[in-house]
C-alpha cells in the first residue's frame, strides 16, 4: 500500500494550491486515497477541501495515463519517503503540521539514532565555536546525532564539528538540493550528503524563499529529543525554533552567557521563560537519560 499511496501524495504535491492541512484533513477521515481515486471532479472538493480548478487538475493527474507515466518516472527517480513509508520518523508524526514528503540524500539509518537539535545565531560571537565544541564533544562521544539547519554561523559550526569528530549529523533544509543556500556552505552540504543525512520538504528544483526557513524550523525541533541553543539574538529564527520545540513538548537547553553579549539576549529571554540552563554536554546527557534509545 505504501508505494501506491506515496505516489498519490507525490502527485497531489504537484498542485501548488493544495495545502498540507487539506490533505491531512482528508487522511484523518479516510486513512488512504481510495475514495479520492474513484471520485468525480464534483466530488473531490467535498473530500479534500480545494477549489474546483484544483479538483479538475487532481482528477486529470490521477486518470491521465500519459501524465501518470511521467510523474511515476519522476517519483521513482527521486530519493524520497512519505507519510506512508517505514522510514518516516515517528517523531514527526507527533508534531503539529508534519511534513507529507521528505526528499533525502545520505544515510537514512540516522533517523533511528538519538538526535539533538543544535541551533543558534547566524552572526555568532568570537567564542561561539568554543561553546559548540565544549557542549557537543560529550554528546558526539555518546553517539548523539547533531541536527541543525545548514545556516551560517552556529548551524554550520555544529554540522562541521560533528563531521570533524567522526560523529553524525543531519541537516534539514529550507530549499531543494539543487539550490544550496548559503552558497558558502556548498562544501559542507556535500560532506553531509556523503557522511550524514540531508532532508528537505522541497523538491530538488525549489529555490530558497524567505518563508521556507521559519517553516523548516518546526522540523529541526520536531525531529530530536531536545533542542540546544548556543547563542541567539532577541528576535531570530532561533527563538522561533525554540518556541516550536516548547509547543511540541520538547526540552530546550540554553547556554547562559554575559548580559553584555548581544548574541545572548535571546538566551536570557528563553531562560526567563523556563528553558533549562546548561554549561556542559554531560548535563544534557543526564537530563535525557530516561528518553534516549539505549545502545
* Integer CA distances (angstroms), 25 to 9, 22, 92, in order: 13, 5, 17
- Contact of 195 with 219, CB cutoff 8 Å: no
Same domain, 19 and 122: no
Last residue of a domain, one of 39, 61, 77: 77
At 253, which CATH number? Answer: 3.40.50.450
Q: Is 19 part of a structural domain of the chain? A: yes
- Contact of 288 with 142, CB cutoff 8 Å: no
Last residue of a domain, one of 60, 77, 94: 77
The β-bridge partners of 183 are none
What is the mean predicted confidence (pLDDT) over 67-75?
93
pLDDT band of 262, cuts 50, 70, 90: confident
Q: Does residue 246 or residue 135 have the better pLDDT?
A: 135
Last residue of a domain, one of 77, 95, 118: 77
Q: What is the pLDDT of residue 292?
A: 75
- Contact of 149 with 172, CB cutoff 8 Å: yes
pTM across the whole model:
0.94
3-class secondary structure per residue, the chain = CHHHHHHHHHHHCCCCCCCHHHHHHHHHHHCCCHHHHCCCCCCHHHHCCCCHHHHHHHHHHHHCHHHHHHHHHHHHHCCEEECCCCCCCHHHHCCCCCCCEEEEEECHHHHHCCEEEEECCCCCCCCHHHHHHHHHHHHHHCCCEEEECCCCCHHHHHHHHHHHCCCCEEEEECCCCCCCCCHHHHHHHHHHHHHCEEEECCCCCCCCCCCHHHHHHHHHHHHCCEEEECCCCCCCHHHHHHHHHHHCCCEEEECCCCCCCHHHHHHHHHHHCCCEECCCHHHHHHHCCCCCCCC
Q: Is 292 part of a structural domain of the chain? A: no
- Contact of 267 with 255, CB cutoff 8 Å: yes
Q: Is 274 part of a structural domain of the chain? A: yes
Same domain, 10 and 146: no
Ramachandran region of residue 98, left (φ > 0), alpha (ψ -120 to 50) or beta? Answer: beta
Q: Is 295 part of a structural domain of the chain? A: no
Domain count, the chain: 2
Q: How many CA atoms lie within 13 Å of 86's alpha carbon, on the beta-carbon side?
A: 2
Q: What is the pLDDT of residue 264?
A: 86
Q: pLDDT tens across 88-107, in order?
A: 999 999 998 999 999 999 99
Q: Among 156, 136, 140, which residue's Cα sits nearest to residue 148?
A: 156
Q: What is the pLDDT of residue 294?
A: 65
At 21, which CATH number? Answer: 1.10.150
Same domain, 150 and 35: no
Same domain, 181 and 279: yes
Same domain, 141 and 188: yes
pLDDT reading at 128 higher than 80: yes
Omega within 30 of 0 (cis) for the link into 133:
no
pLDDT reading at 110 higher than 80: yes
Same domain, 170 and 236: yes
Q: pLDDT tens across 152-195, in order?
A: 999 999 999 999 999 999 999 999 999 999 999 999 999 999 99
pLDDT band of 10, cuts 50, 70, 90: very high
Q: What is the pLDDT of residue 179?
A: 96
Residue 58's domain comprises 2-77
What is the mean predicted confidence (pLDDT) over 274-282?
94
Q: Among 2, 248, 256, 15, which residue's Cα sits nearest to residue 131?
A: 256
Q: What is the pLDDT of residue 291?
A: 79
pLDDT-above-90 percentage for the chain: 77
Same domain, 159 and 68: no
Amino acid at each position: 500500500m505504501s508505494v501506491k499511496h506515496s505516489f498519490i501524495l507525490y502527485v497531489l504535491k504537484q498542485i501548488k494550491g493544495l495545502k498540507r492541512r487539506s490533505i491531512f484533513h482528508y487522511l484523518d477521515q479516510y486513512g488512504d486515497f481510495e475514495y479520492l481515486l474513484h471520485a468525480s471532479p464534483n466530488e473531490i472538493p467535498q473530500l479534500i477541501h480545494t477549489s474546483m480548478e484544483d479538483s479538475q487538475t487532481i482528477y486529470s493527474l490521477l486518470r491521465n495515463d500519459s501524465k501518470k507515466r511521467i510523474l511515476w518516472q519522476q517519483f521513482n527517480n527521486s530519493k524520497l519517503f512519505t507519510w506512508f513509508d517505514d522510514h518516516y520518523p515517528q517523531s514527526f508524526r507527533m508534531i503539529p503540521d508534519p511534513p507529507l514528503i521528505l526528499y533525502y540524500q545520505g544515510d537514512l539509518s540516522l533517523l533511528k539514532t538519538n538526535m539533538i537539535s543544535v541551533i543558534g545565531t547566524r552572526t555568532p560571537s568570537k567564542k561561539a565555536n568554543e561553546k559548540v565544541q565544549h557542549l557537543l564533544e560529550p554528546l558526539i562521544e555518546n553517539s548523539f546525532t547533531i541536527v541543525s539547519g545548514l545556516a551560517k554561523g552556529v548551524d554550520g559550526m555544529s554540522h562541521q564539528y560533528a563531521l570533524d569528530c567522526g560523529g553524525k549529523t543531519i541537516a534539514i533544509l529550507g530549499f531543494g538540493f539543487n539550490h544550496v543556500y548559503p552558497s558558502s556552505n556548498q562544501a559542507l552540504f556535500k560532506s553531509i550528503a556523503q557522511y550524514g543525512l540531508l532532508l528537505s520538504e522541497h523538491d530538488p528544483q525549489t529555490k530558497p524563499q524567505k518563508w521556507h526557513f521559519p517553516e523548516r524550523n518546526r522540523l529541526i525541533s520536531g525531529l530530536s529529543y531536545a533542542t540546544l541553543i548556543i547563542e541567539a539574538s532577541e528576535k531570530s529564527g532561533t527563538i522561533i525554533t525554540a518556541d516550536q520545540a516548547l509547543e511540541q513538548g520538547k526540552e530546550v537547553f540554553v547556554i547562559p552567557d554575559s548580559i553584555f553579549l548581544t548574541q545572548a539576549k535571546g538566551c536570557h529571554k528563553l531562560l526567563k521563560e523556563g528553558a533549562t540552563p546548561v554549561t556542559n554536554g554531560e548535563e544534557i546527557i543526564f537530563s535525557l537519560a530516561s528518553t534516549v534509545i539505549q545502545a
